[in-house]
Structure 1
């Protein structure tokens, strides 16, 4: 929590204006002019527009987000981004900057005037002065100081990271979350997680601003296209109207015509309603012809609106066509013509254009029928006016054409003004409900969750380690495991010696190990009390090597060698003898030499110890090619007979019984088998070996000896009592 950057969540909320809350509400004063209505847009489409790369690209360029400034914190030395508090600002000369640059600079500020700039990965170091041009690998730049913050960064380093614009666009496009606040509302929420709150606020506010600019441009494009259409038609109608008016003037002048007679006025008043219908019908026919001609000449442009068609289906199709065209153009900003969405929109545009042409053709047929009927009625009126002079009738025809053109001209002038008002009064598509604001408390790291997780981990991790360690540990840990599985008595528990070398008991030794061997001696006498043999033969074996057979055999022999008792230690591990090595004695002839060489006597293979006069060592001798033959030989039987006649105790050190069958061949000579189990070393699965020996009575008497017992464990009684030996723990040990 100390070194992790603190992150905040910045949010903004906007309302996508519907038809009722859009442009019509702002332009209610002009409702009588029938200004273009704002089309409802699906909010999902607007979300995709907000997510578009062109909008993000405009924001990145406007805010220079591809230039990032960093400084190291005082204690953690991690990089922290500087935004509005940066002591310097970088300005690149556009004509020298390479396309999509990528570079990292280290700027060391020495004073209020000078600095040193180094590009990471390059050895060149340049000295510079604030405000002067410096040439770099990616272009020429000017570093300007920010006096408000420069003093606190003197003699410090500023890290400048320059990345391609599109890399930053992709980064923020993936980080800014845009979605509906509620499924049934037109409100969109924008959010961004950041370590720099001011920067995130500028990004979200800038994104909304760019969206409104883009939407306004779309609306203006329709109005500008409509204005261009009206201007073109006004020029044509103006020319035609001028020609007709000039023709009226010429006709009156050449035929000396003045005002129409009172009789003619009477007839014309009666036919005024009919003429009004003719004018309206001709106006609609003119609009149909204008629109058909526009469709032929402008295949991809937006269609003009608010021309005053009387047919509602034509108005609706034009509106749908413009909306679809705008949506296609918006999609084309970030994709190509081969995009399935673009293809589908183009197909829809063609379908709408065909529908519009069909509607125009149908409208034209309807208007012609109506016009034909009106002309029929007009012919009736003309018959009544037949009494009028021919020239008067000819003048009326010319005047009628003049009125038609004049009406259409005035109509287009009105529409031009309406379009100009709409263009000037274009409003934003999105209303900002809440500008970008930051959460008061950081969202990352969450201190309570981190502390709780750390507190739980402090308990769970050790418990899991201990659990799995115990689960995967197959070694025997304490006496209770043996007592649960075996009914064999435990003759002794020998503690660990805590010595690096071989441990040999001295006669005056008062250590805990020596006392354990003396207890071992007492228990042996109890176990061997039922034996009828005067000489007690004890065999020491185990399951695998390394469990301490030689250690037990040697030290047991020393303990038993009292002034009144003679002890012989036999090394009958003929495969890997350890007795002489353990007692630090030189190699000598032994049992294998005695069996193979009948000239040798027992005295020739006995090794006497000066410091322990009643203990004799008989080595195994040279390693034979087949130890089984040695153990089965009569010579070995004779050896045991001689030994039993001279010694009170015979201790036999043998190889592991789980690996070879050598100890079983000596069962006939043995009064007691000591099976050594080393705690923390012996595998608990191997306890089946002494169990089978005991159940099958392979030895007349068998006992378990626990070796390497940890006396400091809570399962034992701790330090020895009353023997003058107790090594205290160091104060730092738990």
Structure 2
């Protein structure tokens, strides 16, 4: 049973909350309509934004190439611990870098923008503009000032002599000819006609151009650029850019890929270029040494008059061929190691080490490759940073550490080669002892010949490496393979029409909802029957009195069919149920009408209640029991001069019947005004003659309505309440504060007021009929109401 009751209460509460807003449905319809119209115009005037996408694959580098090999060896040794990063993330960072976007914007001259203005519409042109502006020289400081003063925007008009340009913020017009230099203050420019311009059918507007700060344009497009890895297990990258000009966005993405490949090729060729320089230097030295050896050999043979030494030492050469080859190899390796050590001592952290010279030992070659990779990374970052950058300092430490490792490896290699060479020399001495019979001349000649062969072998070896290096320098494949060139989706990404219209509809509904909700939230006054029932459940409500316009009649007449008259009839009917325990009283029922504070409509309620009863044939009298601030005289101006209740209580010689005045409103209605305003109202109301007066009135009238003072301000009403059969407590809608409803509750519990019930006065038309809204309260009372009047009610 309790669950059903709770469910019904919750259902009623939800309905009440909805009714607070549904009664203002025209506001919601109008607000939503206006919002949708504004959203529609926004969609028509807004510039659509399109999404442009391109896809590339970052090629995996050859692990043996100079640019990428060697890092794994150092990682195994722990030298580069903490430096391991995802190479693909580095490439994404490079594509998103400001430097790459700056190169792209410079290549496309996007800091120069072209516009076409026609009436109130200005749109940006791209490619299809009638002229093209080229910048010969530019002063960045002057350009920044021009941007701040908005004098970097020029309108151009063609004439017979050439053209003239002007800015809105500058009175001076500049004239020039197409193809000739023109100074515009912050730059020297050349304006040429665009031979590829396609003129539209209607071309009545103006053309203009704007020169912007390169940094600002780069920042704009850098923020728009999105670079994302398609899958963690692949090197496929998507590049996207949102812009209102699809062709421009496509060119930016395509040019960005071109600039990326250019830089990758430059990085690849940097090591090869340094290697080529090193080989050329060594070839010059070896060539000089080889010339010296050959001259010595020639002079020796001429001096000794030798012709064919080979035939004389054929047996020895056959036996020592293996020794010679080994000695040549060891000597070559030792000299290469020494040359690399010399290069390391002379170079700094920005120099790359030569690669692929033929040094035996994969460890040393791997270490050299790792060292070059670190140097390349340092030089690349240093282009957009300084040596104080923590990353540069960290790389310097790693390069120095790697340089030390490479130096130690080369020193160990050279030491090992020297030991091997010494051993070979020892073996050579043994062989020389065996060929002591060979003339010293032969030994000398062989020594010269041996030096010549060593130099020739080294020279040929370097020539071969130079050709290999030149070949790798010539073959420069792009690092980024294009999967899809930049293309634009035909559907704009912004503004999205459905989302904008939906948002407009929601905002249009939220605005009146918020206003109504805020108004209800901040309202501390009683608005309707529901507020009264929630705050004071202990006290019944006998009636609701509707708000009456100032132009309307405030008093009920005979045969009155207005909503006001019907509301008082309903109130009287409800009061009969409250008087059911007083069936012994056939006449002389005393109704006390009071309120919390003044201005809540006590006198208005008293008189109309009396008129309703009088129209029903009852004998009724209204007693002005508010001795301090009488209001009954407002409805009978002449009665102000009459004696009344206060005079009767003071003067025992006065007769009550002489004080009663028949009203002009109804023959069954009489007034007994409050009379003169006394200095001591409370003492008078304690007088015994008050009870006697009411007793005499009971014998003469069916109903005695006591119009009393506000009970919260003075105690007068509490003195009269003991004589009342029923207490009507008037609450005025949109006037009485909800907090004041506690006063009648406390008064009832304290016994100061008895048989109390509420009359809700001045109820707004929108809030009137708490039950009527559900059951058709206004039935039969709105036939004469026009459609315009009905609409007005919703907007009141």
TM-score range, shorter chain: 0.7 to 0.9
| Structure 1: unaligned runs, 5 residues or longer | 25-34
- Structure 1 residues 242 and 105, CA, compared in 2 at 3 Å: closer, same or farther? closer
Partner of residue 398, structure 1: 448
Partner of residue 391, structure 2: 341
Partner of residue 27, structure 1: none
Q: Select 2:338's aligned residue among 289, 293, 299.
A: 289
**More moved, 450-459 vs 538-547:** 450-459
- Structure 1 residues 502 and 36, CA, compared in 2 at 3 Å: closer, same or farther? same
Partners in 2 of 1:37 and 1:335 — Cα distance? 22
Partners in 2 of 1:312 and 1:331 — Cα distance? 29
Q: Select 1:669's aligned residue among 720, 723, 726.
A: 723
Partners in 2 of 1:668 and 1:530 — Cα distance? 19
Q: Select 1:303's aligned residue among 349, 353, 358.
A: 353
Question: Is the 8 Å Cα contact of residues 309 and 442 (structure 2) preserved in structure 1?
Answer: yes
Q: What is the Cα deviation at residue 406 of structure 1?
A: 1.8
Q: Deviations over 1:260-283 (max 9, x none)?
A: 163422112211221111111111
Partner of residue 671, structure 2: 616
Q: What is the Cα deviation at residue 441 of structure 1?
A: 2.6
Q: How does 1:105-254 map to 2 (within 5 A)?
A: 119=167, 122=169, 124=171, 126=173, 131=178, 135-144=183-192, 146=194, 148-149=197-198, 154-158=203-207, 160-254=209-303
- Structure 1 residues 135 and 662, CA, compared in 2 at 3 Å: closer, same or farther? farther
Q: How does 1:257-276 map to 2 (within 5 A)?
A: 257-260=306-309, 262-276=311-325
- Structure 1 residues 231 and 519, CA, compared in 2 at 3 Å: closer, same or farther? closer
**More moved, 89-98 vs 372-381:** 89-98
Q: What is the Cα deviation at residue 138 of structure 1?
A: 3.3
Partners in 2 of 1:116 and 1:549 — Cα distance? 84
Q: How does 1:646-657 map to 2 (within 5 A)?
A: 649-657=703-711
Partner of residue 50, structure 1: 95
Q: What is the Cα deviation at residue 354 of structure 1?
A: 0.8
- Structure 1 residues 698 and 221, CA, compared in 2 at 3 Å: closer, same or farther? same
- Is 1:320 the counterpart of 2:320? The answer is no
Question: Is the 8 Å Cα contact of residues 107 and 157 (structure 1) preserved in structure 2?
Answer: no
Partners in 2 of 1:641 and 1:718 — Cα distance? 39
Partner of residue 564, structure 2: 513
Q: Select 1:541's aligned residue among 574, 590, 594.
A: 594
Q: How does 1:498-647 map to 2 (within 5 A)?
A: 498-499=549-550, 503-507=554-558, 509-517=560-568, 527=579, 530=583, 532=585, 535-560=588-613, 568-573=621-626, 577-581=630-634, 594=647, 615-616=670-671, 618-619=673-674, 622=677, 628-633=682-687
Partners in 1 of 2:316 and 2:362 — Cα distance? 35
Partner of residue 17, structure 1: 59
**More moved, 599-608 vs 315-324:** 599-608
Question: Is the 8 Å Cα contact of residues 626 and 707 (structure 2) preserved in structure 1?
Answer: yes
- Structure 1 residues 513 and 639, CA, compared in 2 at 3 Å: closer, same or farther? same
Question: Is the 8 Å Cα contact of residues 639 and 673 (structure 2) preserved in structure 1?
Answer: no
Partners in 1 of 2:237 and 2:54 — Cα distance? 8
- Structure 1 residues 725 and 36, CA, compared in 2 at 3 Å: closer, same or farther? closer
- Structure 1 residues 392 and 439, CA, compared in 2 at 3 Å: closer, same or farther? same
When normalised by structure 1's length, the TM-score is 0.84
- Structure 1 residues 60 and 732, CA, compared in 2 at 3 Å: closer, same or farther? farther
Q: Select 2:125's aligned residue among 72, 82, 87.
A: 82
Q: Select 2:785's aligned residue among 712, 727, 734.
A: 727
**More moved, 585-594 vs 301-310:** 585-594
Q: What is the Cα deviation at residue 571 of structure 1?
A: 3.7
Aligned residues: 717
Q: What is the Cα deviation at residue 364 of structure 1?
A: 0.9
Partners in 2 of 1:369 and 1:731 — Cα distance? 118
Partner of residue 30, structure 2: none
Partners in 1 of 2:296 and 2:395 — Cα distance? 50
Q: What is the Cα deviation at residue 589 of structure 1?
A: 7.7
Partners in 1 of 2:617 and 2:715 — Cα distance? 35
**More moved, 462-471 vs 43-52:** 462-471
- Is 1:5 the counterpart of 2:56? The answer is no
- Structure 1 residues 166 and 601, CA, compared in 2 at 3 Å: closer, same or farther? farther
**More moved, 206-215 vs 572-581:** 572-581
Q: What is the Cα deviation at residue 640 of structure 1?
A: 5.1
Question: Is the 8 Å Cα contact of residues 51 and 492 (structure 2) preserved in structure 1?
Answer: yes
Q: Name the SS for the 1:666 alignment partner.
A: helix
Q: What is the Cα deviation at residue 19 of structure 1?
A: 3.2
Q: What is the Cα deviation at residue 6 of structure 1?
A: 2.4
Q: Name the SS for the 2:419 alignment partner.
A: helix
Q: Name the SS for the 1:219 alignment partner.
A: helix
Q: What is the Cα deviation at residue 349 of structure 1?
A: 0.8
**More moved, 442-451 vs 558-567:** 558-567
Partners in 2 of 1:98 and 1:378 — Cα distance? 76
**More moved, 509-518 vs 449-458:** 449-458
Partner of residue 28, structure 1: none
Question: Is the 8 Å Cα contact of residues 137 and 189 (structure 2) preserved in structure 1?
Answer: no
Q: Name the SS for the 1:440 alignment partner.
A: coil
Q: What is the Cα deviation at residue 480 of structure 1?
A: 11
**More moved, 683-692 vs 316-325:** 683-692
Question: Is the 8 Å Cα contact of residues 589 and 619 (structure 1) preserved in structure 2?
Answer: no
Q: What is the Cα deviation at residue 555 of structure 1?
A: 2.4
**More moved, 604-613 vs 217-226:** 604-613
CA RMSD after TM alignment: 4.2
Q: What is the Cα deviation at residue 320 of structure 1?
A: 0.5
Q: Name the SS for the 2:774 alignment partner.
A: coil
Question: Is the 8 Å Cα contact of residues 138 and 186 (structure 2) preserved in structure 1?
Answer: no
Q: What is the Cα deviation at residue 256 of structure 1?
A: 2.3
Question: Is the 8 Å Cα contact of residues 486 and 691 (structure 1) preserved in structure 2?
Answer: no
When normalised by structure 2's length, the TM-score is 0.78
Partners in 2 of 1:456 and 1:305 — Cα distance? 68
**More moved, 203-212 vs 710-719:** 710-719
